Structure 1
Amino acid sequence: MTLRMEKVSKVFRDGPNEFKALDNVTLDVKEGEFIAVIGPSGSGKSTFLSTAGALLSPTSGAIMVDGRNIEKLSAKKKTMLRLEKIGFVFQSANLIPYLTVMDQLRVVNVLAKNKQRYETEEELLRHFGLGDRLKNFPSGLSGGERQRVAIARALINDPKLILADEPTASLDSKRGRQVVEMLAAEVRDRGKSGIMVTHDERVLDLCDRVLMMKDGQLVEAATVS
């Protein structure tokens, strides 16, 4: 399993008040599997994704990423785990406005000190149809192009786990579906594991499993063929 979560809970405290954002979540995600997590706002989806991606620490339970218990890692090693093993795709692409398309990927390799790359930045960008946008800044790209850059950036270090937070939210239905088709294909073709948090029910048929987050609990919502 690329990702294993065992009885994971996350409690936020505000003085005497407590809010359980995650409640005893257990999940296994295999290589080549692309999962959607749906649910109403405030159900715990974002907390779930941040906890799975080692951005938040659970209050209780265990999380394994590529066989490593992330709660036994120091803060520095957690940072390196995110750089080496986890690729993030955010709702608004989160590109750095003063970096070109090529440099969006290069900065990840510099931070990770990655000398043996799976693909060069240019090869990966051309794979996503961005060969004529290498020197463009984010302001010169369409919404769909920005999300394709974000996917390429998430893949540049050949991570095991891809986490996508509402990747279609800022796109129309056609471009949104194209982005999810790309994500699903990359997960399956490259043997990754993928989790997508989404409100967009029009793309759920592209996923292997659909799970629902409700009041901090994760349950099977449907089986997608």
Structure 2
Amino acid sequence: MPLTMTHVSKVFKDGPHEFKALDDVSMDVKSGEFVAVIGPSGSGKSTFLSTAGALLSPTTGTIEMDGKNVGDLSNKEKTTLRLDKIGFVFQTANLIPYLNVTDQLRMIYVAAKNDQHTGNEAELLKHFGLGHRMKNFPSELSGGERQRVAIARALVHDPELILADEPTASLDSARGRDVVELLANEIHDRGKAGVMVTHDERVLDLCDRVLEMKDGQLMEAEAVH
């Protein structure tokens, strides 16, 4: 499994007070599977995604990725794992204003200090309908185009796991659906594992499974209308 979480809890402390953001969460995601996690604000979705992406360490429980127990890794090894094995898609694209579209993808290799990149940036951008935008800067793109660049950037280093945080938040319904449909197709066609945190129930039919976060606990979602 690209991602397995077993009895994961995350507790934050504020002086004498404790807050359990994740409460005994267990899940796994297979290659080629796209899983949505829904739930109200404050339910633990962001903490869940950050913990799944090795940005936060669990208080208890285990997370296995790429056959490794993430808890056994040093901070440097966790950083390497994120750069090599995980592709992140954020709700506001998080593009660097002074880099053109092609360089947005190349910076992943720079961050990973990887000189072995395949040079597939142009091919990937053309695949996403951005061949005419390769030299443009983020300010010259539409919201949908920026999110497509973000997805291409998440895939350029061929990660095993794609984590998407509210990818439709800054888009209208039509462009939001286009972005999630693109993401779902890439996960299925390339055999990636994908997890998307979302409030947008209109795109859930594009996912293979829908889970719901309630008070830090993850469960199968009730029927979504």
What per-residue deviation string (whole Å, max 9, x for no partner) do you get for residues 162-206 of structure 1?
Answer: 000000010011100000001101101001000000000000000
TM-score by length of 2: 0.97
> Contact 1:119–1:156 (CA<8 Å) still a contact in 2?
no
Give the CA deviation at 1:16.
Answer: 0.4
Correspondence for 1:149: 149
Where in structure 2 are the equivalents of 1:159-198 lying within 5 Å? 159-198=159-198
Aligned pair in 2 of structure 1 residues 11, 98: CA closer, same or farther (>3 Å)? same
Correspondence for 1:208: 208
The DSSP-based 3-state class of the residue aligned with 2:177 is helix
Question: What letter matches 1:68 in structure 2?
Answer: K
Where in structure 2 are the equivalents of 1:131-150 lying within 5 Å? 131-150=131-150
> Contact 1:22–1:47 (CA<8 Å) still a contact in 2?
yes
Please give the alpha-carbon distance, in whole angstroms, between the structure 2 residues aligned to 1:92 and 1:68: 31
Please give the alpha-carbon distance, in whole angstroms, between the structure 2 residues aligned to 1:207 and 1:116: 33
Correspondence for 1:36: 36
Question: What letter matches 1:178 in structure 2?
Answer: D
Question: What letter matches 1:201 in structure 2?
Answer: E
Give the CA deviation at 1:109.
Answer: 1.2
Please give the alpha-carbon distance, in whole angstroms, between the structure 1 residues aligned to 2:198 and 2:111: 29
Give the CA deviation at 1:117.
Answer: 3.8
Give the CA deviation at 1:115.
Answer: 4.0
Please give the alpha-carbon distance, in whole angstroms, between the structure 2 residues aligned to 1:87 and 1:119: 17
Unaligned runs of 5+ in 1: none
The DSSP-based 3-state class of the residue aligned with 1:163 is strand
> Contact 1:184–1:206 (CA<8 Å) still a contact in 2?
yes
Over the aligned positions, Cα root-mean-square deviation in angstroms equals: 1.3
> Contact 1:51–1:58 (CA<8 Å) still a contact in 2?
yes
The DSSP-based 3-state class of the residue aligned with 1:132 is helix
Aligned pair in 2 of structure 1 residues 206, 75: CA closer, same or farther (>3 Å)? same
Please give the alpha-carbon distance, in whole angstroms, between the structure 2 residues aligned to 1:119 and 1:160: 19
How many correspondences in the alignment? 224
Correspondence for 1:12: 12
- Between the two proteins, what is the percent identity of the paired residues? 75
Please give the alpha-carbon distance, in whole angstroms, between the structure 2 residues aligned to 1:200 and 1:123: 30
Aligned pair in 2 of structure 1 residues 13, 49: CA closer, same or farther (>3 Å)? same
Correspondence for 1:74: 74
Question: What letter matches 2:51 in structure 1?
Answer: T
Aligned pair in 2 of structure 1 residues 123, 56: CA closer, same or farther (>3 Å)? same
The DSSP-based 3-state class of the residue aligned with 2:132 is coil
Please give the alpha-carbon distance, in whole angstroms, between the structure 1 residues aligned to 2:3 and 2:63: 7
4+ long deviations beyond 4 Å:
none
Question: What letter matches 2:59 in structure 1?
Answer: T
TM-score by length of 1: 0.97
